[in-house]
């Protein structure tokens, strides 16, 4: 099965346009659709009848009268089909089952341990898909597809995860993940960078708002970014996985952990790796901290220990997190000065770990933004939080319905 099976579900170009307009709204009337599309009444009536008979849209009551008959309201039918969304990241992988309203019906999370090779994960995913289908009494012909948001770099056209860094397990090079899962499940699959799927999810949630230019940054083991402009994802000549993390903050700065990385790169100062490294170094120097109670060997210290100490307001950990957030804010200011997004959505473990990192980073970014206060930017942790990558992978599949 290929993606044409999704795009051909609505074969008519004008029907795709109307369906997309309905999807952007909670409910909308025929009159509003006529005003927005410029189509004739007869054409609009025919298209709405076609979409209704296919089960893609529903009549959802009547709108307020403006003097005549109350208009019929239309909405997307969330139960027309269902979608699987899959996140594959360095620390965890997550599978969600959603309807077309992006309402979550089920989910499963796997920790990406040293044993989680592609073969092992694919087997677990396939088993879990079958379990979810059975649990929710769904047939495979009710499934629109499986979207995957993965650590890059990826080749989204061939559905291949290329050569990602820092996986604990071996074998994550040139993995034809879409082909493997499609053959195993009989469900069309598509792939993109996880940062791209995350911003798709947040953009979909905010589809009724007026933001045209959104920037997303995922701060975790590394730094990943994506941008939406006028509702469309922006792509470079190559997959831009990790490129924001290579932004140079100090030309004679810290040596990157990867031999091919830049000296003084942003992710050497603001990432899970950088924070763990700073905390381990402080322990070895005998700094006073609650971290000493968690591990005997500083090399065993993890970000989870750092978060636990942060929740206890440990002065050393507050210092480490504040310094990392300050560097992150400098990098964020560089992006604002170049891209000028209207809204910036920050996600990932560093953002989810508490308000200190988010507040410090955004305050630093604002102070170093050139056109501030004339240029105002909105910062957000996003409405979907850690669900964004997997939900966005499902949105990517759903969007194929209106793809020409």
Q: What are the structure tokens assigned to 169, written together?
A: 């397990």
Domains located in the chain, CATH noted: 4-76 (1.10.10.10), 82-201+388-402 (3.30.420.40), 210-382 (3.30.420.40)
Residues 19 and 30 sit within 8 Å (Cβ to Cβ) = no
Q: Is the pLDDT of residue 41 over 80?
A: yes
Mean pLDDT for the stretch of residues 87-92: 91
The reply to whether omega before 195 is within 30° of 0 (cis) is no
Query: What is the pLDDT, as a whole number, of residue 372?
Result: 79
How many DSSP H helices and E strands does the chain contain?
13, 15
Over residues 378-383, the mean pLDDT reads 85
pLDDT of residue 67: 61
Looking at residues 244-270, what average pLDDT do you find?
89
- Arithmetic mean of pLDDT, 228-244: 77
The model carries a pTM of: 0.84
Q: How far apart are CA 103 and CA 82, in angstroms?
A: 10
The 3 state secondary structure assigned to 235-266 is: CCCCCCCCHHHHCECCCCCCCCCCCCCCCCEH
Question: What does the pLDDT average to over 291-309?
Answer: 89
pLDDT at residue number 1: 47
CA angle 79, 84, 89 (to 5 degrees): 150
Average pLDDT, the chain: 89
């Amino acid at each position: 099965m290929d993606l044409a099976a999704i795009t051909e579900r609505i074969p008519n170009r004008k029907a795709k346009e109307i369906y997309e307009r309905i999807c952007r709204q909670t409910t909308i009337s025929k009159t509003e659709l006529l005003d927005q599309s410029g189509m004739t009444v007869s054409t609009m009536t025919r298209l709405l009848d076609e979409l209704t008979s296919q089960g893609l849209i529903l009549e959802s009551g009547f709108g307020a009268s403006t003097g005549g008959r109350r208009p019929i309201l239309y909405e997307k039918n969330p139960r027309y089909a269902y979608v699987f969304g899959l996140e594959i990241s360095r620390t965890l992988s997550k599978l969600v089952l959603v309807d077309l309203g992006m309402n979550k019906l089920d989910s499963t999370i796997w920790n990406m341990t040293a044993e989680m090779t592609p073969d092992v994960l694919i087997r677990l995913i396939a088993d879990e898909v079958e379990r979810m289908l059975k649990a929710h009494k769904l047939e495979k012909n009710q499934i629109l597809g499986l979207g995957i948001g993965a650590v890059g770099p990826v080749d989204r056209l061939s559905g291949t995860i290329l050569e990602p860094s820092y996986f604990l397990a071996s074998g994550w090079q040139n993995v034809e993940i879409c082909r493997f899962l499609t053959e195993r499940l009989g469900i069309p699959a598509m792939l993109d960078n996880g940062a791209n799927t995350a911003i798709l999810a947040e953009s979909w949630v905010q589809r009724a708002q007026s933001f045209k230019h959104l920037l997303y940054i995922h701060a975790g083991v590394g730094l990943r970014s994506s941008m939406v402009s006028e509702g469309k994802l922006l792509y470079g000549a190559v997959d831009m996985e990790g490129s924001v993390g290579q932004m140079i903050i100090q030309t004679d700065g810290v040596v990157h952990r990867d031999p091919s990385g830049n000296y003084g790169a942003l992710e050497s100062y603001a990432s899970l790796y950088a924070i763990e490294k700073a905390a381990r170094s402080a322990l070895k120097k005998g700094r006073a901290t609650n971290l000493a109670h968690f591990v005997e060997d500083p090399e065993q210290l993890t970000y989870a220990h750092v978060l636990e100490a942060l929740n206890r307001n440990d002065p050393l950990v507050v210092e480490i997190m504040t310094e990392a957030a300050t560097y992150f804010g400098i990098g964020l200011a560089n992006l604002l000065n170049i891209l000028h997004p209207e809204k910036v959505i920050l996600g990932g473990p560093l953002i989810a770990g508490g308000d200190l990192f988010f507040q410090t980073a955004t305050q630093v970014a604002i102070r170093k933004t050139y056109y501030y206060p004339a240029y105002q930017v909105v910062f957000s942790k996003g409405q979907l939080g850690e669900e964004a990558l997997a939900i966005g992978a499902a949105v990517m599949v759903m969007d194929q319905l209106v793809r020409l």
